[in-house]
Amino acid sequence: MSDLVAAVTGASGGIGRAIALRLAAAGATVAVAARTETAGAETVSLIEAAGGRARFTRVDVKRASEVQGWIRETAERLGRLDWLVNNAGMNGRSARLEDYAIEEFEEVVDTNLLSAFYAVHAAIPIMRAQGAGAIVNIGSTASLQGYGLLSGYSASKHGLLGLTKSIALENADIPIRANCVCPGPVDTPLMRSIEVLVNPEDPAAAHELFAQTTALKRYGTPAEVADAVHFLLSDAAGYITGTALSIDGGVMTGV
Among all residues, which ones are annotated catalytic?
Answer: 153
Using alpha carbons, select from 12, 121, 114, 21 the residue that is nearest to residue 58: 12
Taking the CA of residue 169 as centre, how many other CA atoms within 13 Å lie in the half-sphere pointing to its CB? 6
CA distances from 87 to 9, 79, 192, 208 (A): 5, 23, 17, 25
d(CA 225, CA 228): 5
Kindly report the backbone phi and psi dihedral angles of residue 47, in degrees, each rounded to the nearest multiple of 5, phi listed first.
-65, -45
Using alpha carbons, select from 196, 181, 197 the residue that is nearest to residue 231: 181
The burial of 217, by beta-carbon neighbours within 10 Å (0-12 exposed, 13-18 middle, 19 or more buried), is given as exposed
d(CA 248, CA 244): 12
